[in-house]
């Protein structure tokens, strides 16, 4: 992007003239950084300094074994845990700092759709480094797209295609096992308990997609997004199974300890499934296994789970 400024801004010339003077006295440390800043554009064929913005992207890079090349991740990159523990954090993906990202001297920035603010994204795009925008989405198709695009960006196209194919195979196998089930379980997904009331998942949520993939029916499909239900409404939904997650929001409250939920079919049979929030809802490489585990908890006689702990 070229510069659209018609006139010099006020205060520019004084600032420009005083800059070398004041600056020279104040930052002897500045020269230290030259080495880091100088690397831009050096690697034409293979990107060695990747900034990964988006939890699923980071997960895919780690699954491809490319974690050595990541120089920083964003706040949503919570899996694997060592990503945020070992790499600098660029902040929340919708609140990026353009200079912060550029200060890492990356040669490739992978950005999930929805990264922002738009001005910061525009400036990162304009800085002359490779930027790939990766579509987000909560479906099997968009998951495969994500994997292919990320793998392609880090020159691992074949591995990405193979990983996407494996996902297809895994879901096809699960679908075959689920296809004979007539009596679908009615599922209420509770993201968190908000002061004794369930914050439940409606349509167009990752939870809704995961319930459908694992062969259940979302009892709250006439509501859009996550909504806090009154306890009475929750009782009226009469779910067969309540699915909840750990690691999202304040935990500790057992949904079945609420009388209104204990009175539902799920409450009477104690059908409460708790799974890790990111693994179940993250739509990354772990999604097929997580969905299979959920299916095996919904239909224990028909579907075998993976050996991993939920």
Contacts to other proteins by CB under 8 A: 1-5, 9-12, 14-16, 18-20, 22-24, 26-27, 29-34, 36-38, 40-41, 72, 75, 88-92, 94-105, 114, 117-120, 122-123, 126-129, 225-226
Q: How many helices and strands, by DSSP H and E, does the chain display?
A: 14, 10
Tokens standing for 298? 């919904």
Q: For the chain, how long is the longest CA-to-CA vector? A: 79
- Comparing CA positions, the residue from 193, 190, 254 lying closest to residue 218 is 190
Q: Is 91 exposed, middle or buried (0-12, 13-18, 19+ CB in 10 A)?
A: middle
Instruction: Provide the minimum distance between the beta carbon of 103 and other proteins in the complex, in angstroms, as a whole number.
Output: 3
**Does residue 256 contact residue 267 with C-beta atoms inside 8 Å?**
yes
Instruction: Provide the minimum distance between the beta carbon of 70 and other proteins in the complex, in angstroms, as a whole number.
Output: 13
Q: What's the CA gap between 142 and 99, in Å, rounded? A: 30
Instruction: Provide the minimum distance between the beta carbon of 168 and other proteins in the complex, in angstroms, as a whole number.
Output: 28
Instruction: Provide the minimum distance between the beta carbon of 56 and other proteins in the complex, in angstroms, as a whole number.
Output: 15
Q: Report in angstroms the alpha-carbon separations of 4 from 1, 12, 122.
A: 9, 16, 14
Instruction: Provide the minimum distance between the beta carbon of 173 and other proteins in the complex, in angstroms, as a whole number.
Output: 32
């Amino acid at each position: 992007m070229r510069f659209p400024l018609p006139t010099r801004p006020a205060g520019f010339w004084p600032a420009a003239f005083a800059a070398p003077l004041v600056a020279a006295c104040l930052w002897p440390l500045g020269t230290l950084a030259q080495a880091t800043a100088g690397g831009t554009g050096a690697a034409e064929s293979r990107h060695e300094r990747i900034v990964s913005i988006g939890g699923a992207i980071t997960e895919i890079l780690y699954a491809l074994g490319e974690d050595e090349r990541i120089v920083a991740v964003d706040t949503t990159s919570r899996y694997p845990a060592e990503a945020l523990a070992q790499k600098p954090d660029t902040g929340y993906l919708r609140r990026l700092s353009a200079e912060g990202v550029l200060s890492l001297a990356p040669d490739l920035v992978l950005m999930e759709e929805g990264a922002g603010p738009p001005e910061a994204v525009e400036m990162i795009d304009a800085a002359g480094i490779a930027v790939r925008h990766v579509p987000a989405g909560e479906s099997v198709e968009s998951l495969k797209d994500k994997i292919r695009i990320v793998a392609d960006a880090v020159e691992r196209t074949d591995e990405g295609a193979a990983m996407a194919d494996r996902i297809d195979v895994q879901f096809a196998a699960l679908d075959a096992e689920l296809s004979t089930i007539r009596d679908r379980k009615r599922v209420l997904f509770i993201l968190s308990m908000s002061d004794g009331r369930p914050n439940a998942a409606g349509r167009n949520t990752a939870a809704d997609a995961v319930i459908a993939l694992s062969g259940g029916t979302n009892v709250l499909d006439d509501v859009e997004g996550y909504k806090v239900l009154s306890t009475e409404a929750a009782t009226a939904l009469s779910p067969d199974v309540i699915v909840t997650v750990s690691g999202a929001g304040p935990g500790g409250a057992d949904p079945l300890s609420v009388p209104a939920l204990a009175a539902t079919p799920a409450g009477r049979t104690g059908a409460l499934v708790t799974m890790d929030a990111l693994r179940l809802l993250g739509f990354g490489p772990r999604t097929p296994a997580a969905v299979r585990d959920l299916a095996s908890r919904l239909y224990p006689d028909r579907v075998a789970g993976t050996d991993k702990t939920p």
